[in-house]
Amino acid sequence: MKYLIVGLGNIGKEYDNTRHNIGFKILDAFAKASNVIFEENRYGAIAECKVKNKTLILLKPNTYMNLSGNAVRYWLQQEKIEQENLLVICDDLALPFASLRMKPKGSNAGHNGLGNIQSLIGENYARLRFGLGNNFPKGKQVDFVLGRWTEEEEQQLVPRIEMACEMIKSFALCGIQLTMTQFNNK
Protein backbone atom coordinates (compact mmCIF):
# COMPACT_ATOMS: atom_id res chain seq x y z
CA MET A 1 0.00 0.00 0.00
CA LYS A 2 1.28 3.49 -0.89
CA TYR A 3 1.06 6.75 1.02
CA LEU A 4 1.85 10.30 -0.09
CA ILE A 5 3.39 12.33 2.74
CA VAL A 6 3.66 16.01 1.82
CA GLY A 7 5.65 18.58 3.79
CA LEU A 8 4.68 22.14 2.93
CA GLY A 9 7.26 24.89 2.60
CA ASN A 10 8.85 27.35 0.22
CA ILE A 11 11.93 26.67 -1.87
CA GLY A 12 14.95 28.96 -1.86
CA LYS A 13 17.70 29.90 0.58
CA GLU A 14 15.72 32.86 1.92
CA TYR A 15 13.12 30.41 3.30
CA ASP A 16 15.52 27.86 4.79
CA ASN A 17 14.85 27.25 8.48
CA THR A 18 11.82 29.54 8.62
CA ARG A 19 8.74 28.68 10.65
CA HIS A 20 6.61 28.36 7.50
CA ASN A 21 8.94 25.57 6.28
CA ILE A 22 8.32 23.20 9.18
CA GLY A 23 6.78 20.69 6.74
CA PHE A 24 10.08 20.52 4.84
CA LYS A 25 12.03 20.27 8.10
CA ILE A 26 9.94 17.34 9.35
CA LEU A 27 10.25 15.46 6.05
CA ASP A 28 14.00 16.07 5.97
CA ALA A 29 14.26 14.49 9.44
CA PHE A 30 12.04 11.57 8.39
CA ALA A 31 14.10 10.96 5.23
CA LYS A 32 17.37 11.12 7.17
CA ALA A 33 16.08 8.61 9.75
CA SER A 34 14.94 6.36 6.88
CA ASN A 35 18.30 6.64 5.06
CA VAL A 36 16.73 8.04 1.89
CA ILE A 37 17.68 11.11 -0.12
CA PHE A 38 15.38 13.55 -1.89
CA GLU A 39 15.78 13.89 -5.64
CA GLU A 40 14.38 16.73 -7.71
CA ASN A 41 11.48 15.60 -9.85
CA ARG A 42 8.36 17.07 -11.39
CA TYR A 43 6.68 19.54 -9.03
CA GLY A 44 9.08 18.84 -6.17
CA ALA A 45 11.71 16.84 -4.36
CA ILE A 46 10.75 13.18 -3.93
CA ALA A 47 12.04 10.38 -1.72
CA GLU A 48 10.63 6.90 -1.26
CA CYS A 49 10.95 4.65 1.77
CA LYS A 50 9.38 1.58 3.29
CA VAL A 51 7.84 1.36 6.73
CA LYS A 52 7.23 -2.34 7.24
CA ASN A 53 5.00 -3.31 4.30
CA LYS A 54 3.97 0.27 3.42
CA THR A 55 5.56 2.47 0.75
CA LEU A 56 5.82 6.15 1.66
CA ILE A 57 6.35 8.70 -1.09
CA LEU A 58 7.75 11.84 0.56
CA LEU A 59 7.13 15.09 -1.32
CA LYS A 60 8.48 18.59 -0.76
CA PRO A 61 6.67 20.66 -3.42
CA ASN A 62 8.80 23.15 -5.38
CA THR A 63 5.71 25.12 -6.44
CA TYR A 64 5.93 27.50 -3.47
CA MET A 65 3.46 27.20 -0.63
CA ASN A 66 0.49 28.89 -2.28
CA LEU A 67 0.50 26.51 -5.28
CA SER A 68 1.16 23.25 -3.40
CA GLY A 69 -2.04 21.71 -4.73
CA ASN A 70 -0.54 21.25 -8.19
CA ALA A 71 2.21 19.02 -6.81
CA VAL A 72 -0.13 17.09 -4.52
CA ARG A 73 -2.66 16.40 -7.26
CA TYR A 74 0.05 15.35 -9.73
CA TRP A 75 1.76 12.90 -7.35
CA LEU A 76 -1.51 11.39 -6.13
CA GLN A 77 -2.36 10.62 -9.76
CA GLN A 78 1.18 9.64 -10.79
CA GLU A 79 1.56 7.12 -7.96
CA LYS A 80 -2.12 6.06 -7.99
CA ILE A 81 -2.52 6.86 -4.31
CA GLU A 82 -5.95 7.07 -2.74
CA GLN A 83 -6.76 10.41 -1.13
CA GLU A 84 -7.27 8.73 2.27
CA ASN A 85 -3.56 7.81 2.11
CA LEU A 86 -2.49 11.44 1.80
CA LEU A 87 -0.98 13.28 4.78
CA VAL A 88 -0.06 16.97 4.51
CA ILE A 89 2.26 18.50 7.12
CA CYS A 90 2.07 22.25 7.70
CA ASP A 91 2.45 25.06 10.22
CA ASP A 92 -0.46 26.44 12.25
CA LEU A 93 -0.60 29.80 14.03
CA ALA A 94 -3.70 28.82 16.01
CA LEU A 95 -1.87 26.06 17.90
CA PRO A 96 0.56 26.67 20.77
CA PHE A 97 4.23 26.45 19.83
CA ALA A 98 5.44 22.90 19.07
CA SER A 99 2.05 21.27 19.59
CA LEU A 100 1.13 18.58 17.08
CA ARG A 101 -2.40 17.85 15.88
CA MET A 102 -3.48 15.34 13.29
CA LYS A 103 -6.93 15.68 11.72
CA PRO A 104 -8.68 13.53 9.09
CA LYS A 105 -10.06 16.53 7.17
CA GLY A 106 -11.23 20.09 7.70
CA SER A 107 -10.99 23.67 6.61
CA ASN A 108 -7.78 25.33 5.55
CA ALA A 109 -7.97 27.70 8.58
CA GLY A 110 -6.55 30.50 6.45
CA HIS A 111 -3.44 28.53 5.43
CA ASN A 112 -2.79 29.34 1.77
CA GLY A 113 -1.02 26.06 1.04
CA LEU A 114 -3.92 24.01 2.41
CA GLY A 115 -6.36 26.34 0.63
CA ASN A 116 -4.73 25.64 -2.72
CA ILE A 117 -4.71 21.89 -2.11
CA GLN A 118 -8.39 21.97 -1.15
CA SER A 119 -9.30 23.97 -4.25
CA LEU A 120 -7.84 21.17 -6.40
CA ILE A 121 -8.68 17.95 -4.52
CA GLY A 122 -11.19 18.88 -1.80
CA GLU A 123 -10.79 18.82 1.97
CA ASN A 124 -10.99 15.07 2.64
CA TYR A 125 -7.34 14.40 3.39
CA ALA A 126 -5.36 14.09 6.60
CA ARG A 127 -3.20 16.88 7.86
CA LEU A 128 -0.58 17.12 10.57
CA ARG A 129 -0.38 20.63 11.94
CA PHE A 130 2.69 21.90 13.80
CA GLY A 131 1.91 24.79 16.15
CA LEU A 132 3.81 28.03 15.74
CA GLY A 133 1.93 29.93 18.42
CA ASN A 134 0.87 33.53 17.98
CA ASN A 135 3.67 35.38 19.74
CA PHE A 136 3.87 38.26 17.27
CA PRO A 137 2.67 41.87 17.19
CA LYS A 138 -0.65 42.61 15.49
CA GLY A 139 -0.22 42.86 11.72
CA LYS A 140 3.14 41.04 11.75
CA GLN A 141 1.86 37.54 10.98
CA VAL A 142 3.70 37.27 7.66
CA ASP A 143 6.99 38.43 9.19
CA PHE A 144 6.53 35.86 11.97
CA VAL A 145 5.83 32.81 9.78
CA LEU A 146 8.58 33.75 7.33
CA GLY A 147 10.96 34.47 10.20
CA ARG A 148 13.63 32.12 11.48
CA TRP A 149 13.29 30.07 14.65
CA THR A 150 14.62 31.65 17.82
CA GLU A 151 17.44 29.89 19.68
CA GLU A 152 14.98 28.82 22.38
CA GLU A 153 12.55 27.44 19.78
CA GLU A 154 15.38 25.56 18.01
CA GLN A 155 16.17 23.68 21.23
CA GLN A 156 12.56 22.55 21.57
CA LEU A 157 12.16 21.51 17.92
CA VAL A 158 14.20 18.30 17.92
CA PRO A 159 11.96 16.18 20.19
CA ARG A 160 8.81 17.57 18.58
CA ILE A 161 10.08 16.79 15.08
CA GLU A 162 10.92 13.28 16.28
CA MET A 163 7.34 12.92 17.54
CA ALA A 164 6.01 14.19 14.20
CA CYS A 165 8.07 11.46 12.47
CA GLU A 166 6.53 8.85 14.77
CA MET A 167 3.08 10.22 13.87
CA ILE A 168 3.85 9.77 10.16
CA LYS A 169 4.80 6.14 10.74
CA SER A 170 1.71 5.56 12.86
CA PHE A 171 -0.52 7.12 10.18
CA ALA A 172 0.76 4.60 7.63
CA LEU A 173 0.82 1.58 9.94
CA CYS A 174 -2.16 2.11 12.26
CA GLY A 175 -4.42 4.64 10.51
CA ILE A 176 -5.48 8.13 11.39
CA GLN A 177 -7.92 7.39 14.23
CA LEU A 178 -5.45 5.41 16.31
CA THR A 179 -2.70 7.95 15.57
CA MET A 180 -4.91 10.82 16.74
CA THR A 181 -5.82 8.95 19.91
CA GLN A 182 -2.20 8.09 20.67
CA PHE A 183 -0.49 11.39 19.81
CA ASN A 184 -2.86 14.39 19.79
CA ASN A 185 -2.64 16.50 22.96
CA LYS A 186 0.81 15.15 23.92
How far apart (Å, rounded) are the C-alpha atoms in residues 161 and 164?
Answer: 5
- The residues carrying an active-site annotation are 20
3-state secondary structure 58-120: EEEECCCHHHHHHHHHHHHHHCCCCHHHEEEEEEECCCCCCCEEEECCCCCCCCHHHHHHHHH
Question: Checking DSSP bridges between strand 100-103 and strand 126-131, what pairing results, if any?
Answer: antiparallel
Task: Give the sheet arrangement for strand 54-61, strand by strand.
Answer: 39-41, 44-51, 54-61, 2-7, 86-92, 126-131, 100-103
φ, ψ of residue 46 in degrees (nearest 5)? -125, 140
Torsion 132-15-8-172 (CA) sign: negative
